[in-house]
Amino acid sequence: EYIAVADRVDLIAERVRALGGTPPSTLKLQLDLARLKEDPTVPTAEGMVRNLVADYDVILAALLKASDEADDDPGVFSVRAGG
């Protein structure tokens, strides 16, 4: 699986470059760009669930924003609109 993940990361980096961007090339840059942040504590089971819910909220917000931006582009298939 490591090789498969590495191949995917390379494909994404190539796509970013093709679109004129600069992919984050160090772990520090990737961590700085990450929307999900690590919990530096050792949370209780309830705290872990709270962290997961908070992370899912961040992911959902990012997906909805990306979907809205894609809806503004007539060349992009709209998942929410079904086509």
Contact between 13 and 23 under an 8 Å Cβ cutoff? The reply is yes
What pLDDT, in 10s, does the model give residues 14-64?
999 998 999 998 989 988 999 999 999 999 999 999 999 999 999 999 999
pLDDT of the residue at 42: 96
Are 79 and 67 a contacting pair, CB within 8 Å? yes
CA distance 22 to 79: 28
pLDDT at 73: 72
pTM as predicted: 0.64
Question: Looking at the predicted structure, is the pLDDT value of residue 82 above 60?
Answer: no
pLDDT score recorded for residue 77: 61
pLDDT at 69: 83
Beta-carbon contacts of residue 41 (< 8 Å; ≥ 6 apart): 47
Backbone angles phi, psi at 3, to 5 degrees: -65, -40
